[in-house]
Each structure stands twice: as structure tokens, then as C-alpha cells.
Structure 1
Amino acid sequence: MSTSGSTSGSTSGTSRLTVAQALVRFLAAQYTERSGIRQRLITGTWGIFGHGNVAGIGQALVEYADDMPFHQGRNEQAMVHAAVGYARQSGRLCAQAVTTSIGPGATNLVTGAALATINHIPVLLLPGDVFASRPADPVLQQLEVPYAGDVSVNDCLRPVSKYFDRITRPEALIPAALQAMRVLADPAETGAVTLALPQDVQAEAWEWPEEFFRERVWRVAEQMPEQRDLYDAVRAVRAAGRPLIIAGGGVHHSRAEHVLGLLAEQTGIPVASTQAGKGSLVHDHSQDVGGIGHTGTATANQLARTADLVIGVGTRYTDFTTASGTLFDNPDVRFVNLNIAGFDAHKMGGISLVGDARVGLQQLWDKLREHVVDTEIIPAHRVDPAYEMDYREAKARWEDLVSQAYAVPDEKMPPTQAQVLGLLDELVTGDDILINAAGSLPGDLHKLWRTRSRDQYHVEYGYSCMGYEIPAAIGVKLAAPDRPVWALVGDGTYLIMPTEIVTAVQEGIAIKVVILQNHGYASIGGLSEAVGGERFGTAYRFRAGDGTYTGDPLPVDLAANAESLGMRVLRAGTVRDLREALKEARASDVPTCVYVETETADTVSGVPPAQAWWDVPVAETASRPSAVEAREEYDRQARARRRHL
């Protein structure tokens, strides 16, 4: 990643501006460029104003309203989620800023910042801070730390930021702002970037060099792997009998879908996907074998268990992907890891290819094609036809299970969660974008959803943050205004953060929200039962006579809540109702909610169970039979755990 020189304007003289005005003007002149395409880096600012930023950043955004679009939010965490959704849909080449007041407004950013950093998505955070000059001590909302006078609540953002600085003098903004842009535009380092702005410094004026405000283009380099490592990888691929590619989020970030598909088609190597990588190949691609890991398909997981070579492309190898270290159990398995981040490329041992996914895959395929070495013709590489037949037949069997889960025997009955997905599957095209993050839906989507385009599947599973879906849908819709955008939420997630419905209504952002009401934390309830927790504290019900939450369901009307926030609401009581409501919502040009109560009994849900283990520690000693049995199963599974070095 590098910067280019000035493209317009004077580079001499000075301008007297406040720190906040200078920052906004600076941000409006920053661009990214990749493959010759230039875009604004910071395309807008989200904000909630209080005494920490109202007269600083707030005034500056008024001053430069034509240069920096503004979006009014309702919750600080949600504003970060919206900015993350926007940046992800924009391929990480465009980002948005989020400004808050000091105190609780700033600390509300922490969850969103963690989500952005974990998922490697750029977002600029501009929280207000306490007075740098300390005219009164403490001021309203100031955290007093007796042993350190330079600590504020904004220091909570340090561990979840990829870059952090506190601007205590005007001139300090210049190096800090440049470093902030560098990190935001760096595909290996990007995440949340925080510039904490003391409220007095925001409003302080200074003579700024015009050079600071020139247009800068941050070129996103397509780093090439080391050639020696690449040759080692080629030899490993040619020697493998059962290779498997794992496509992670890096495939999407580098726009490597096409070259991945070409390599897979020409070599016959099957491609499994993580949550972040799903859609790297569309569902009917001959080499796509679906999701991998704890929420993956039986096809992909069996291939992983027998693979003698695993080629990870842009994946972090989370515990869900590796089944907590139990999935890759071929004693001879080796790994080739292609990743822009050296930290991730060196996981799992094996051969590390540090570089851009698209460039690395292209070079790998170039060397696997027919070529000549010292007059000897090296034939193009392709896996054994029997291996291809094996995984294609397994994929067909899995597709039969998906169809069974989607099947509707009685349209007059309430739908199961899988049937809700099946009805959406009938309706959508490659234009539609589905957003989800938490609960049981990510697992069902990873197993069942048939992706039709490279960016249709938007499941945030790096942080799996409840409350992400609705604000993220707003951000995605801002980045893709002509496409249908769906936020799929359970009742637990909806209750955590419905606030940005008001923003969608205010701005006329026609997102579609599907609320699945199953009266509690269904996903954790199922996990609790599996690990001996007996679904304790996971249902949304009244207390029974014994004090447990096993009474009648709570009389909460989430549809009425969404309607009270200004959204158009369509209620669906049966499969037939739901089919019509989804069609109507897709055609709607206003924010629309589809509300449905789902059938929750496992016996009728139809979703295949987990195809691989996930390590959730179980009580080592207990008197209740459920916990004792769960621990026995835990010990059995844990014995298969393996470190790949």
C-alpha cells in the first residue's frame, strides 16, 4: 500500500481552521485505488452529538456539509455496524467515520470496534474526549484514574483498534491522520482506527499547511507471494491425492472469486468455504462442496477428514472451521496457506504464501498449467477422476438433505426456520443480499443456503454480534442502493438493537427485515442442552412455580414494536402467508418487516445436525446426570484434538 502525490489544488500557504474542521476537510480528500479504480476512502460520517463533539466535529460537519455526507444514528454501536456493513459491501476500499460524544457515547463504540477489527473491516472512530487543558477536573462523564492523569474511557478502545491516538495538540493531528489512513487502506492491517478528540482541542484553531489538504491516493497493493514458497506449494499440490481448498473471507476481499473458480474447474480440486468465504463459488459450481467445520456440510467435512493437502485461502482457521482442532485427521495432512496477513498465513504449519489471494491463486494456477521446463513438458495438473466422482456424489446427497429441510408438507402450518430459508431460496436472485450474525441462523445458513452471487451471503461470524443485522443492512443498502437487502434476525437479536429502524425510516432506506420469533435464545438453548446446561436461562418465558423460566411465553409483540418505530409490517402465521409476505416485502420501496412465529421443535425443523465438533468446555464434576453425560462425550471428542505444527 502506497500513496501518490497531489492531484489538484495549491500546496503552499496555510488555512486557519479548527482541529475538527481540518480533520473533516482532510478526510474529504482521501482516496483509495486498486487495479486502476479510484474511490473516496471516507464517504460519509455517522454521528450522535453531545457535549464532547457537538461544537467541534458537529460544527465542522455543518461547515463542510457539501464535502462530507452525514448520517444520523440512534445507537453508537449500531452506527459502527452500519459503517462496517457499508465497508464490507464496498470491498474495503471505501469506509465511513463514526463520531460520538465523550463518556457513554464513546464506550458504546467498543463492541462495534471489536467486530470491525476481528473481521478486518475498515472503520474510522472519532470519539470525543475529556479536556486536554483540564480547566476543571473532573468534567462531566470523566473517569478519574488516581494513578494516571492521561487515561480516559476512550482507552477501552485501544485493544480493539488497529491504530489509536489521542490528539492533545492541533499539530498532532497531521501525523495521526496520515497514519490512520495508512492503516484503513492496508488490507493486511485494516480494522477499527480510533482518533480520540478532546473536546477543547476539537474547537481550537491553528494555521494548517495547505499541503495537508491535498488529495491523496492510497494505492492498495496486490502483494505477490515469495516465488520459492510458491514453487513449494506447487510441488505439494502435484503430490497430493486428495487436496481440498478452504475459501475464507480473503477471497472476497481481494476479488479472487473468478480465478478461484478457474483454478478449481481446471484442477478438479473441491472448494469448501468458511462463513466469511461462502459465496466464493456459487452453489451450483461443480467444485463447490459447501460450508466447512462445525456448521458445515457432511460433504466438506468428510473431505477435510481425509484430505492429504489443505489449501487455505484468506482464512483465519477459527475453531468453527477446524472443528476445534479435530477436523483434519489424516495423519499425512499438509497445509498451504495463502493470506495477505503473515500472522494468518503461518497458522497450521506447512507452506506459507504471504500475499494477495487473487494474485497468489493466479500464480499458483499459472504454474499448475501445462508448461515447459528444460525442454520437458510438465502436464497440467488435475486430481484423480475417482476423487471428483466421490465428492460430486456426496454433494448431490447433501443437496437432497437441503431439499428435505426446505420441503413444505402443509402450507397451512407455521413454518420451521429451515422452511423460512427455503421460501427465501425460491424468491431471491443473485441481486439479493442476506445479512445475519448470531443465533441459530448462521449455522442453518452455512449448511443450507444456496448462494447465487459472490456477495449475496453476508454473515458476520468473526464476532457473531447480536444486533449487527439491522444497522449492517442499512450500511449495505447505502453501498448497494439498487439491490434488495434482507436482515434476518431472531427475537433475541431483535430485542438487543432495533433502534436503527428509525434511521431506515427517516432516510427512506428500503431494507427488508425478517423477524423469526421463537421465544428465546434458541441457539444457546440447544447448545446448553448438549453440554449439560439444561437450557437454563435461555427461554423468553414467565417464571413457573419452581422459579424457572418454564412458564408461558412472554406476551411480547415484536411486530407491533417494529411498527411503532415507523416500519411497514407484514405478519405471517402460516407458510402460505409467509410466501406472500416475502414477495410483497421484496417488491416494497419502503423499509418493510416480515414477522413470523416459527415452529421450533427439533423433530420438525429438518436441519441436519452438526457435522463436526465444537469445543465448549463442560463441567468436569457435577451431580446432575445431564452434565455427567455431557462431560463423558466432551472427553471423548477432545481426545481427537490435534495441533498442526
Structure 2
Amino acid sequence: MRTRRVTMAQALIAFLKNQYVERDGREIPFFAGVWGIFGHGNVAGIGQALQQNPDFRYYLPRNEQAMVHIAVAFAKMHNRLRTFACTSSIGPGATNMLTGAATATINRLPVLLLPGDIFARRNVAPVLQQLESEHTQDISVNDAFRPVSRYWDRISRPDQLPFALLEAMRVLTSPADTGAVTLALPQDVQTEAWDYPEELFEKRVWHIPRPPADRERLRRAVQWIRAAKRPLLIAGGGLIYSEATEALARFVAQTGIPVAETQAGKGSLPFDHPQNLGAIGVTGTRAANVIARDADLVIAVGTRLGDFPTASKTAFQHPEVRFLTINVAEMDAYKHAALPLVADARITLEELREALAGYRVAADYAAEIARLKAEWEAEVERLFDLRHGPPMAQSEVIGVLNRFVGPRDVVVCAAGSLPGDLHKLWRTRDPKGYHLEYGYSCMGYEIAGGLGVKMADPSREVYVLVGDGSYLMMSSEIVTSIQEGYKLVILVLDNHGFG
């Protein structure tokens, strides 16, 4: 077996830059580079390795939490097919990434976190910024990443690295299991050399499958849909990540089934599509919520069915309502005691459409859908044109911007009162035109997330909408966007409600 003697950190970087993913015959590099702030704990290991690999781009942020948000937004724009790695020093540099890790895992988005860790050999402990415990020496602040990571490991010996890397990639590239992956890297082990097999550094392509639904469950799903009088489809973020928006459009055009959108699923259909009733739930439209209230079958595609889209499970009032789910994640598919199709959204919608040939909702239901949609569109126009200021209403600001932006431009937001208004009012025309981080609704995500969006697709104009509270919490990455030459348009809405 041919080997290469390098440090653990050098082996790590050599591995990362040769990882690729492939779906539907399209092959792309999985990692777009590394974000990091250097200090003791990573400068002598990963720092040296990155300096020796200028073809694997390093980016300097201003805040460790922000750099994880950049990576998360980048991954979301790429439908989970690309991401960044993020490295930090030990101590506060590492724990600053915790919020970003939770954001990634809750939103089912991949990011690789590489926090520096305390000395594995222990003879120099306690080192600067080390967490001490009277109960064990095998603990550091990086153990706090365990509950917010989909995979966690500490590399205490250089020969452990290959096995950890393969597990990390398995999780990062899994549509069902993805989220934050944390590899804690003791600062001494990063610089230790070992004879790594050359095979570790060869190009590796991770195939992203499209698993089909179980045949019996699919047959039952078709029966349920054919029997339904008032079906409703809820489009979640997983539908967009699966690149199933065209399949959805064909499915609802054939069946007439109306669609309501979660925050992550907004843009699954253009706002003016006849079957698109817009936002659902607590921040939803009247059209979507009236149809949801009386639905006898709810088809939930690629959604976690959280409390906001389901109004804490009160949105669906039909006494005999049934739930049919399409989701690659088994945990999500089984929610609401649903008939679970644990499968890829795109392939399953196509199979359902073919099996439902000849089925279409009744004319009176179709007429009700059209009437409610028209009434809501009129309400949006009213809210866009209140003209009772100054000051302007928040809905007026949204209206002015919505009418100004191009069809492929992206609006970015995360927290405060803005997400609720955007969800129900923003008229999205492109599946990637609406970028809301609402799984964790993390204040401070917006500007950093906007930079990640712009880096993922520089051809789009990016408009960051942020409240005064979130702006004050983390505006540091404006400097980073200028440093890297990425244009952001940032609108700060100050309602004097914070600070």
C-alpha cells in the first residue's frame, strides 16, 4: 500500500479538496473552501496546511458564528450539494460556532466544523482557555457541540482521521441525516505526522440518490388522494432541495390540488401560479389557512411540520383529516401519524402524478381555491399601498422592494417581525428568490447569510432585510463582503423595538 507521510492537518485539507458530490449526473466539488479565524489551537496545524494548499481557498471572517452562517446560507442556495468547512481556535473561538451549528442542524443543512481542541497528550494542561473538570480530563468546551451536531468526533490520534472523515462525509452528503458535523482537533495532534494511505487523497465522488417510495405505501397514497374531497399540499424546504419544483408544478396542474408553503418552501411555485395559496400557519395567508382548516387530506412534502406551519397542530380542523408525508428523513415522515413515504420528493411526485391520471379536484373546490386566492392577492395590494405614514408601514416597505427587484433576485431574512410579514406578503417568482432562516430564526444570521447567498450565486442581486435588533447583534460581515468583493443591498428597518 502506497502511503504519504504528512501531518494530520495536511491530510485533512488534502482530503477535503478532493471530495465531490454527484446527483442526476452532475458532479461538483463539495467544499468551496475554508472559513477560519486563527489562534492557538489551529494556526500551527490547519493554518500551515491551508497555506500550503492555495488552490483550496481560505476566507477570513470577522466572527466565528457569522462564518458558520455564511456556510449554511451557501449550502442552502446550493440545495445541500456544496458547503464550506469552518475552523477556529480553542475556547471562545470554538464556542462562538455553537449557534451556527444549531442553525445548520435544525435546518438540515450541511457544514463541517473544525474547532481547535486542548492538547491530547495532557502533560501541558491546563492550557490557555481550557475548561477543567474535577471528574474527567477527557472533556473540553467542544463537547458542547455534541447535541447540536449530526456527527461529532474528537481526533485524539492522527491515525483516527481517515475513519472520522469518511463518517463525516457520509452524514454531510446524506439528505436525511445532514446537518452540522464537528471534528474537534487537539492542537498537538494536528501537527503530528503519520503514514496515510494515498487512497485517502484521491478524488472521491459521493452519489446523492433519489430513493423511491415503498410500493405498497405508494399504492395506498394514491387511494387516499383519489378519495379526498379537499386535499391540500404543503411544500417545505426539502421539496426545493430535491429540485422538485417543476415536478410539483406538473402534479398540481394535473390534479388541481392547492399548495401552501412553509418558510423554507416558499418559492416552490411562483406566487401567481393558480394553485399557490401562499404561506401557511401562524404567519400564513387567509387563503391557505381556510383551505387548511377544512382539508380532509394534507400532503406534506419535505417539511418538518413545526409549530408555525401547523399552528401548533391546530391548523387542521376537519374531523377526519389524514396526513400523507413525502420526506427522505424517516423522523419527519412519521409525524402527525401520517402515511409516510420515506422517499425523494421529485421522484415521488412524478410517480404520484402518473398514478393519478384522470383525477382532479371537484369544480366547486377549484372555484373556492380561485376565489380565496384572488381575495388574498387583493389584500396584499391593500397592505402594499396603505400610505398612512410617515412613517411607512412595514408592509409598504416590503411592497416597494418587491415591486422593484428582479425575478431572480433574492431576499434574505431570519428573525424579528419581518419573517411573518415576508412569509405572507412577499411575491416570489423563483425557487431561490426567498431565503429565510426560520428553523432557528437566528438573530444575526441575515447579513452573514446574505454573503453566503451572494457567494453561491453572484449573478443574483441579494437584498438583506434586517431589523434594528438583529443588525446591532451582528453586522460585522459587511466588512467581509467588501473584503471579498461581493455586493449586498442591506435594508435596516428600525421600529425602535430593540435597544
When the two structures are superposed, what TM-score results if normalisation uses the length of structure 2? 0.99
Q: CA deviation at 1:41?
A: 0.8
Secondary structure of the equivalent of 2:40? coil
Report the Cα distance in structure 1 between the residues aligned to 2:115 and 2:478, rounded to whole angstroms: 23
Q: CA deviation at 1:135?
A: 2.4
Q: Aligned AA for 2:427?
A: R
Report the Cα distance in structure 2 between the residues aligned to 1:413 and 1:383, rounded to whole angstroms: 46
Q: Number of residue pairs matched? A: 499
Pair 1:54-2:43 in alignment: yes
Aligned residue number for residue 369 of structure 2: 391
Q: CA deviation at 1:130?
A: 0.1
Secondary structure of the equivalent of 1:261? helix
Contact residue 386 and residue 393 of structure 2 kept, 8 A: no
Superposition map of 1:307-322 within 5 A: 307-322=295-310
Q: Aligned AA for 1:459?
A: L
Report the Cα distance in structure 2 between the residues aligned to 1:61 and 1:241, rounded to whole angstroms: 60
Report the Cα distance in structure 2 between the residues aligned to 1:519 and 1:227, rounded to whole angstroms: 56
Structure with bigger gyration radius? 1
Q: CA deviation at 1:408?
A: 5.1
Q: CA deviation at 1:42?
A: 1.0
Aligned residue number for residue 87 of structure 2: 99
Superposition map of 1:56-455 within 5 A: 56-66=45-55, 68-369=56-357, 380-407=358-385, 409=387, 413-455=390-432
Secondary structure of the equivalent of 1:97? strand
Secondary structure of the equivalent of 2:440? coil
Secondary structure of the equivalent of 1:217? strand
Q: 1:18 aligns with which of 7, 31, 38?
A: 7
Report the Cα distance in structure 1 between the residues aligned to 2:228 and 2:102, rounded to whole angstroms: 38
Contact residue 233 and residue 300 of structure 2 kept, 8 A: yes
After superposition, the CA RMSD in angstroms is 0.9
Per-residue CA deviations over 1:28-47 (Å, capped at 9, x if unaligned) read: 11000000000101111000
Report the Cα distance in structure 1 between the residues aligned to 2:17 and 2:152, rounded to whole angstroms: 20
Report the Cα distance in structure 1 between the residues aligned to 2:482 and 2:421, rounded to whole angstroms: 30
Q: CA deviation at 1:280?
A: 0.4
Secondary structure of the equivalent of 1:290? strand
Q: Aligned AA for 1:80?
A: V
Per-residue CA deviations over 1:451-480 (Å, capped at 9, x if unaligned) read: 011110101110000000100111111110
Report the Cα distance in structure 2 between the residues aligned to 1:216 and 1:389, rounded to whole angstroms: 53
287-296 or 323-332, which deviates more: 323-332
Per-residue CA deviations over 1:408-429 (Å, capped at 9, x if unaligned) read: 537x833221111111111112
Report the Cα distance in structure 2 between the residues aligned to 1:214 and 1:409, rounded to whole angstroms: 62
Per-residue CA deviations over 1:149-203 (Å, capped at 9, x if unaligned) read: 1010000000000000000000100000011011110000000000100000011
Pair 1:39-2:28 in alignment: yes
Aligned residue number for residue 4 of structure 1: none
Q: CA deviation at 1:321?
A: 1.1
Q: 2:485 aligns with which of 508, 528, 532?
A: 508
Secondary structure of the equivalent of 1:208? strand
Report the Cα distance in structure 2 between the residues aligned to 1:252 and 1:323, rounded to whole angstroms: 22
Report the Cα distance in structure 1 between the residues aligned to 2:334 and 2:386, rounded to whole angstroms: 46
Aligned residue number for residue 495 of structure 2: 518
Aligned residue number for residue 467 of structure 1: 444
Aligned residue number for residue 587 of structure 1: none
Secondary structure of the equivalent of 2:43? coil
Per-residue CA deviations over 1:203-248 (Å, capped at 9, x if unaligned) read: 1111111011011000000010101000000000000000000001
Report the Cα distance in structure 1 between the residues aligned to 2:312 and 2:75, rounded to whole angstroms: 30
Secondary structure of the equivalent of 1:282? coil
Long gaps (5+) in structure 2: none
Aligned residue number for residue 485 of structure 1: 462
Q: Aligned AA for 2:190?
A: Q
Secondary structure of the equivalent of 2:266? coil
Q: Aligned AA for 2:10?
A: Q
Long gaps (5+) in structure 1: 1-11, 370-379, 522-539, 541-645
When the two structures are superposed, what TM-score results if normalisation uses the length of structure 1? 0.77
Q: CA deviation at 1:26?
A: 0.4
Q: Aligned AA for 1:396?
A: A
Instruction: Find runs of 4+ consecutive structure 1 residues off by over 3 angstroms.
Output: none
Q: Aligned AA for 1:356?
A: D
Q: CA deviation at 1:92?
A: 0.6
Report the Cα distance in structure 2 between the residues aligned to 1:500 and 1:156, rounded to whole angstroms: 25
Secondary structure of the equivalent of 1:363? helix
Q: Aligned AA for 1:406?
A: F
Aligned residue number for residue 494 of structure 1: 471
Identity of aligned residues (%): 56
Q: Aligned AA for 1:251?
A: L
